[in-house]
């Protein structure tokens, strides 16, 4: 009897050892497969980074995105204007419809301090990262489509830098063909890699570039000084801060994570005054940023009226704008729900509610939000230890590539909380 028990025990231990070895083997295969997936995404991002395409010229990028989505088995549409691509992932049953948007274009940027250097096309705003993460999310969710109740639309947008892409897609019937209940997107941001932030309502300051046109007989130097003093008279900010400086963005006392942030209630200038010559005219241009939308019209009217009451009135021709950019306007209820979900998944150290409005930035994501409740997230891409600073549109701009698998994981998990996934399905 004792011998039988001993043999049974040996057999049980042997079987368990086989099971353990098999489990370890399966686990390692899953890890290898996951690493292979992430390595593939990093390779894809590097390829996009090495082949930047300006707004309206995203032909190669668009083809890569289209082929990737087709390989995943998604329905793909390319008829919404420009080089846009929309991938449609349908679940096993009808349900909630969600859109995820990523922009694809590069920007012109002057590298170095040479004033005569020509600008080059470059991914200095992270759109290569946005595109890669969007494709990674599509890949991840496509593996769950048999368990998914609902539809996810992946919108890959051209021409964000010119503020034309979103408008063009909408004007070309995007929301006549797809009908999302909500829309999400992200932008890389100079917070620590893998952190997520957002806030209800205005995410950025409102941007205007005013253009004042005069007869060429005006005394240009004298008027430039007059205009500089006039514009500086509008500058408004909290007494303890300088919102035109970005050094305090992440400061716990003055930065965006503090309800008393200095990046709240301000008017700042975003550029020096530049001139442009026309036919017997000269124009003076300057960009400014205002957090209060109700002040925008009065600012331009005051500038014009002050000029008309001055010695320069006889040279004045007109006031116009070369840029009038609204701000991303996150749906308040949806933002609160989304941040609650993300904090529940990753904790409040990794997911932050921001306050105030970010200067010098903007996004044409607002045009989708005018049609559908939406939220834009800020995904940290900086890494102090590696000396990486993900501040867009700077010569030092760089993104820690660890943000790619992190971003895919974070927002794939998030979307599974917004749409029904039947994890019990065999």
Check whether 393 is labelled as a binding-site residue. yes
Check whether 125 is labelled as a binding-site residue. yes
Check whether 38 is labelled as a binding-site residue. no
Are the C-beta atoms of 16 and 68 separated by less than 8 Å?
Answer: no
Give the DSSP H/E element, type plus range, for residue 29: helix 2-50
Euclidean distance between CA atoms 414 and 125, whole angstroms? 24
Q: Which of 225, 229, 190 is nearest to 391 (CA)?
A: 190
CA angle in degrees (0–180, nearest 5) for 136-142-147: 140
Cβ count within 10 A of residue 282: 19
Euclidean distance between CA atoms 363 and 159, whole angstroms? 11
Q: How many residues does the chain have?
A: 426
Q: Which of 383, 349, 334, 178 is nearest to 257 (CA)?
A: 349
Are the C-beta atoms of 291 and 360 separated by less than 8 Å?
Answer: no
Alpha helices (H) along 80-173: 127-142, 165-171
Q: Give me the residue label for tokens 């993104």.
A: 399
Check whether 182 is labelled as a binding-site residue. no
Euclidean distance between CA atoms 351 and 345, whole angstroms? 9
3, 63, 237, 249 from 355: Cα distances, Å: 73, 38, 15, 11
Q: Which residues are annotated as a binding site?
A: 125, 127, 161, 187, 393
Q: Which residues are annotated as a binding site for Mn(2+)?
A: 125, 127, 161, 187, 393
């Amino acid at each position: 009897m004792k011998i039988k028990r001993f043999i049974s025990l040996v057999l049980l231990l042997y079987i368990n050892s086989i099971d353990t070895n098999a489990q370890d083997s399966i686990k390692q295969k899953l890890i290898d497969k996951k690493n292979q997936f992430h390595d593939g995404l990093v390779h894809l991002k590097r390829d996009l980074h090495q082949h930047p395409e300006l707004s309206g010229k995203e032909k190669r990028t668009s083809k890569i995105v289209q082929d990737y989505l087709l390989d995943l088995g998604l329905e793909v549409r390319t008829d919404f204007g420009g080089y846009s691509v929309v991938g449609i992932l349908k679940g096993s049953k009808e349900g909630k419809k969600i859109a995820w948007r990523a922009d694809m274009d590069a920007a012109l940027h002057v590298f170095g301090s040479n004033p005569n250097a020509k600008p080059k096309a470059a991914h200095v705003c992270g759109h290569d990262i946005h595109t890669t993460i969007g494709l990674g999310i599509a890949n991840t969710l496509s593996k769950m489509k048999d368990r998914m109740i609902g539809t996810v639309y992946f919108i890959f947008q051209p021409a964000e830098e010119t503020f034309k892409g979103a408008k063009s897609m909408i004007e070309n019937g995007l929301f006549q063909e797809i009908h999302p209940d909500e829309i999400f997107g992200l932008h890389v941001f100079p917070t620590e890699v893998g952190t997520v932030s957002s806030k209800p309502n205005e995410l950025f300051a409102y941007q205007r570039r005013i253009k004042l046109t005069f007869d060429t007989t005006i005394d240009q130097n004298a008027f430039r000084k007059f205009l500089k003093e006039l514009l500086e008279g509008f500058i408004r900010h909290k007494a303890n801060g300088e919102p035109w400086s970005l050094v305090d963005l992440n400061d716990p006392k003055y930065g965006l994570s503090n309800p008393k942030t200095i990046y709240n209630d301000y008017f700042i200038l975003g550029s020096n005054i530049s001139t442009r010559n026309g036919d017997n005219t000269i124009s003076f241009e300057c960009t400014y940023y205002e957090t209060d939308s109700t002040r925008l019209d009065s600012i331009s009217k005051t500038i014009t009226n002050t000029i008309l009451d001055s010695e320069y009135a006889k040279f004045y021709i007109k006031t116009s704008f070369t840029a009038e950019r609204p701000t991303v306007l996150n749906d308040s209820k949806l933002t609160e729900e989304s941040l609650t979900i993300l904090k529940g998944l990753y904790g409040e150290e990794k997911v932050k509610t921001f306050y105030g409005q970010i200067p010098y930035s903007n996004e044409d994501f607002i045009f989708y939000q005018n049609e559908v409740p939406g939220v834009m997230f800020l995904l940290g891409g900086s890494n102090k230890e590696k000396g990486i600073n993900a501040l867009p549109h700077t010569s030092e701009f760089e993104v820690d590539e660890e943000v790619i698998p992190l971003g895919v994981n974070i927002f794939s998990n998030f979307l599974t909380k917004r749409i029904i996934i039947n994890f019990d399905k065999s």
